[in-house]
Chain A
Amino acid sequence: MSRRALRWIGPGLLLLALITGCDRMPAPPAEQRAARLAADTGPIQVGLAWNFGLDRFLDGAELARRQINEDGGLLGRPLEFVIVDDTLGRGGAVGTALRVSTELANHPRLMAVIGHYLSDVAIPASVTYEDEGILFLAPSAFRTSLTRHGFRYTFRTIPNSDFLSRQQAIFAHGQELRRIAILETRESWTEELANAFETSALNLDLEIIFRRSFFTHHRDFRDIFADLSAQRFDAIFLASGLDTALRIVGQAREMGLRIPILVGHFAGLEAFERELSEAADSVLAPVVINPESEDPRVQRFINEFQRAFLVPPDDGAAQGYDAVMLMAHAIRRSASTIPLTVATTLRYSVSWRGVTGRHSFRRDGDIYTKMVSFSVLSNGEIDYISPSD
């Protein structure tokens, strides 16, 4: 046999093995689930994975479920939830992700999961959902890597850190805050936010006059403000957890810095108002729902939520409500509960408006239409500024 012929033996055998072997393997879990769901006529099962007691996310989702079922359900079938607590436990974020996602995936008729508060949990959990063929809507995880794996079942219903920071830079530009100082804790998620903000700010011809990072256990920021006092600037962009943010704002005000402080992520201003009272004036944070909006959908949601749960809805409630309603819209539009079919509808043809804004998705599953509003503390009151104002 010639050497040329020998060269083809290896690839040939591999091809043969693939052709003959495929039909003897069991169908992958995603296909098995799709087949089960195609034959299913019972209630439509959706998993909710959330940090219990964190906010009103579960109440928002529950309100949506009640409304859907009162209107006759989805495709004539009721919607039911499987709820799991994904508060960080043993094994850290990855261990929690594995525990919660496996627990949910063990429900054979589960078609979708909505939730996972933290990106560090949502990202590993998305691998399970991809393997198991479960539609996954992430309403809170904003780190960009969630949608960078080309997964077919993963969607994010909150602006990712690039899009969020871009909107903050545009907001700063619109408010004529042209010279910005960036303060950030040394964590990967805050660094991602700060980097994205800096890039967007520079694209908009804003000036970053100062950037300083510090460890999360840092307690005294007065030296930073002393350094900053030599500079002329209009605002601070702050990427940190809530405790550090409270400390920084308090110390900045103590040292006479009254300039606006833009909080880098979705942090409710109530804690600032509660802890710092007047010192929290001019602190701004992005929000997904503007309770002062004149949109009748928003006002209806606020009223119905308040009636059902006797408290006003927060961002978590609005995200939970919209994620369930969005999924319902995509199921109706697809006339199917097969996750891949619903995912295809979401990816290529959804233009749906909820109480948190417009929903359309990039091919990678990232939402690109949700424009945030900004909450600002002024004389102890929270005011809201929307991009359309």
Chain B
Amino acid sequence: MVKSTISAPVIEFRRNRWWWGIGLCLLLGIVPVGLAQQSRSFVNIVGAQAAYRFLSQVVERFGETTIYKYPLIEATGDEAGITMFCLELAVETPDILMLDRRMRLEEYARCARNGVGELIEMFIGFEAVVIVSGTEMPPLDLDLGELFLALAATVPNPSNPQEIVENPHRRWQAIHSRLPDAPISILGPPTGSALERLLAQRGLALGCQRLEAIQALAETNPVEYRQVCHRLREDTEIYEPVSLHNDTLLERLMENPSQLALTTYGFLQDYRDDLRHVLVDSIPPSVTVMQEHRYPLARPLYVYLKVGHLQLIPGLREFAEELVSEETVGRRGYLRDLGLVTLPPPDLEALIRTVELMSPMEPPTPTTAEIMAEAGTDEEVPPEDPVLTLDLAAWEAVKNSENILMFQLYLEKFPEGQFLEMANRRLEELQTAAAEAAAVAEDIEALEDDSGAGDDG
């Protein structure tokens, strides 16, 4: 017989054990009801405006052709979208994030740190502006600075570059002597359209960075700098935003051999024989160069999905399958009609396989080109070490845990990690505490056996 050392609370518990039992049952009964009320029965998507218009079409079709309700899709922008998506793994947070660039390592680590868990990465294609002309126009190679000088509402005064004036350029040769002796005449995408935004954000903004006179403005007057670098000219005899059917646009180009049009990649592909593309920074528009991040007027479209939500949200897997299907993002897919530059067949097959198997992504490793593009500099920037970043994220996730397994897992994944010593010490503490708790539990069990026999009597 074991002598009792903690008799009073245990005996009290024994006396009231039925009430405790009822309380526990009620609690167990209430918690699932609470969870059921919170559960969400539709897919939730957030992220970049550029991707919104494409995914919005998928949402439309998914709602109309499947048994599932429409997904909720919101164009929150990159940053807010990432904040919401990476908040935690919970049904209150979005299931899908859409971006007009690849997720950065720091963002991936933030998701990992918050316990979001594995992610599926779906690269679905590009959004791009191409510059085309009729075949009678001589081949043209514009650098981004020249494109800016042709399209911007205000530019540096040619005779006094420190002064910003209304765009005076009406002929290409006024911009550079190597350019054709012809009037500038450009048909642009419709006002307020996604293509116009891409033109302003990529074409104008990057071109602006090439002009020293304007760069000075960035420091002295950032508000004016932003306006100068994003505003398209409004003199419609030179730059005319148009919303035309493809055939009509082609007719306009045929009628005026010196006219250019800023349009979708799909238009160029469809009328390849009747059109000539303009080189931008000596680079032709093609999927290959876009994949190498070399074509400046294109941006990639990425979609991220939380693996941990697949079991929680009805229709999530099916939505991902619809998104990457041949009918959606294939060469004849309906997103191509909206201007999506589709992936080559082998890449699409790999994407479909990724979604079929729900293969989680590897931590993103920034390429040198990406780093340079992000930094907007020609100087090479050393990439962040992905292992160190992940190690930090993993440690942040486990360091306050009371679970031995979490530390064992950390030590297994990062046997030479930065926090090796601290992890070992914490593991030892938890193991010692667990051993002590086990001993106490044995004492309690023996005591219960002992006092239970007395009650029966």
Contacts and interface: CB of A to CB of B under 8 A. Distances in A.
A349 B72 CA distance: 14
Interface in A212-237: none
A360 B42 contact: yes
A351 B193 contact: no
A170 interface: yes
A351 B64 CA distance: 6
A387 B76 contact: no
B76 to A, nearest CB: 6
Nearest to B72: A368
A353 B67 contact: no
B77 interface: yes
A166 B84 CA distance: 13
A205 B79 contact: yes
Nearest to B39: A363
Interface in A178-214: 203-205
Contacts of B60: 353, 358
A20 interface: no
Nearest to A204: B80
A359 B79 CA distance: 28
Contacts of A388: 52-53, 56
A362 B42 CA distance: 8
A253 interface: no
Contacts of A369: 70, 72
Contacts of B83: 203, 205
Interface in A359-383: 359-363, 368-369, 371
A257 B396 CA distance: 48
A203 B74 CA distance: 14
B192 A349 contact: no
Contacts of A350: 69
Contact of A170 (B56, B59, B76): B76
B77 A351 contact: no
A353 B64 contact: yes
Interface in B57-74: 59-60, 63-64, 67-70, 72, 74
B75 interface: yes
A256 interface: no
Contact of B67 (A167, A205, A349, A362): A349
Nearest to B67: A349
B209 interface: no
B192 A385 contact: yes
Contacts of A173: 76-77, 80
Nearest to B65: A351
Contacts of A358: 59-60, 63, 70
B198 to A, nearest CB: 13
Interface residues of B, number: 27
A359 B63 CA distance: 10
A204 B69 contact: no
A174 interface: yes
A288 to B, nearest CB: 16
B194 interface: yes
Interface string A255-275: 000000000000000000000
A348 B52 contact: no
B205 to A, nearest CB: 13
A389 interface: yes
Contacts of A363: 37, 41
Nearest to B338: A388
Nearest to A350: B69
A368 B42 contact: yes
A207 B70 CA distance: 32
Contacts of B68: 351
* Most central of A351, A353, A363, A389 by chain B CB within 10 Å: A351
Interface string B365-386: 0000000000000000000000
Contacts of A371: 74
A203 B80 contact: yes
Interface string A151-174: 000000000000000110010011
A54 B72 CA distance: 32
Contact of B74 (A170, A353, A360): A170
A174 B75 contact: yes
B49 interface: yes
B91 to A, nearest CB: 12
A371 B74 CA distance: 9
Contacts of B49: 174
Contacts of B56: 388
Nearest to B49: A174
A170 B78 CA distance: 12
16 contacts: A173-B76, A173-B77, A174-B49, A174-B75, A174-B77, A203-B83, A349-B69, A350-B69, A351-B69, A351-B70, A358-B60, A360-B70, A363-B41, A388-B53, A388-B56, A389-B194
Given A166-B74, A174-B75, A351-B64, 7 more contacts: A167-B74, A348-B69, A349-B69, A358-B60, A360-B69, A368-B42, A389-B193
Closest 7 CB pairs of A and B: A351-B63, A360-B69, A360-B70, A204-B80, A351-B70, A369-B70, A358-B70
